[in-house]
Structure 1
Amino acid sequence: MSDSALSSLSGRTVLVTGATAGIGYETARQLAERGATVLLHGRTAEDSRAAADALVATAGVDANRLCTYAADFARLEEVEALAHRITVEHPHLAALVNNAGMAAPERHTVTADGNEIAFQVNFLAHYLLTCLLEAALTSDPGGRVVNVSSSLHRTASIQWADPNRARRYSRLAAYAQSQLALTVFAADPRVTAVSVHPGVCDTALLPLYAPAGVSPAEGATHVVRLCDPAVEIVNGAYYERDERVDPAPAAREDRTVRRLNKLADLLVGRAD
């Protein structure tokens, strides 16, 4: 489907995490330009407000289409508060774009919640947010989740006995594990979800991939396309840019999905 063939998103509300820079910012811009109400998430209220102001001032986005939210994904209590506020203020979500991400630091770093920081920010926080927003995403037909993942998920393995990689830490392996988990999570049957590698883009994560990349705006087009209700999706599908391809074998295994959900519930405090 060409860019010009995408349908209007007027009347639809989309939450974009990590919307203050890079692919997230450009995704928010393109969604708003197509008529969606966009919930802009940033790590701080100041970051979110600055992004909204920039979209209005430099991109000509209608300020009435933007709502700002803040939560530090390194603190799960803030993720819970974010989900509660959105559920109250926007009980019907057409889409959730799980985009916020970070490169794993050089040294092993654990959050206040006890999780390796990249695993929490890139996956566990999105897992928790998606679970808490399930009612909003399923209140109307067609609600969907788009996980912004990475082709590096193919290089990863989930260390089930040591997901926080306390015994053997590598920043690239930790980052790749978080992307594999996010890709596996797209096959969760509770909500309709897909994952997408938007290409190697010139963002803060570029050094993990290559010396050069395409613009964040180009990468965002592949994310926005999957938010369009005119684009039919299959739960658990994986895309590299605009092409549907097979993900890593682990992302197609029901057993792995169930095992990951059990682990994630434990790590975010949702286990029975």
Structure 2
Amino acid sequence: MTPSQRDPGVVVGEAVELELVPAKLPTRALAFALDAVLVGLLLVAVVVVVVVAGVEIDPALATALTVVLVVLGLVAWPTAWETTTRGRSPGKAAFGLRVVRDDGGPIRFRHALVRALAGLFVDFGLLSGVVAMVVSACSPRAQRVGDLLAGTIVLRERMPRSTRARDLPPPDPALAGWASSLQLAALPDDLALAARQFLGRTRELDPAVRRSLGERLASDVAARVAPPPPPGVTAEAYLTAVLAERRRRT
């Protein structure tokens, strides 16, 4: 695959582009549709409860409640899910997608809120998703307006097992015993993916950038993984051992 044919990557420090795979528009549309169905079911359940309870609602109150429910469904729902799960709604989880910052890091509340508000008023508002589709189709990373405003990108986390294996150099056998004791539950998928893509491109990087980025990624991983590596282990050897063990357990 030539450079011009590759999916755009994600820039991580020192202007190094890691080839994290942006989600395609059809997959994002399916994930959005699943979330919309779930929100719709919740709203229907609320209406049924109100009707069964025999609550009398005048037209003005009905209008106000409709607005509240729409805001809850289109803003509160995605914001809450993407904040607590670091970028995944039920629909995105079902299709193997995750929202991350455009530098590859995990999103926070403000990113999720900006995406949701832009979705309500711009992307999926008056024109029922036309803006989102047009902007995403024109964006190299399939970003809608909400992504551009929040500085986020939706990535495809699920990759063929053969691709994952090819990206990883073989781990140091001397670290096998230590790696088997690793606690990996706190290692987020987006960070593991960034480390994997870095290891797959080390030979293409400037030596100084390679060392700096490797140490940064190793530090980020070490903050979420225990126990620490044995003394003298390089950043790349550490990342390789951690990711190899993570893959072995999946």
Structure 1 or 2: more strand by fraction:
1
Q: Which is higher, the Rg of structure 1 or of structure 2? A: 2
Indicate the TM-score class for this superposition, using the shorter chain for normalisation.
under 0.3
TM-score normalised by length of structure 2? 0.26
More helix by share: 2
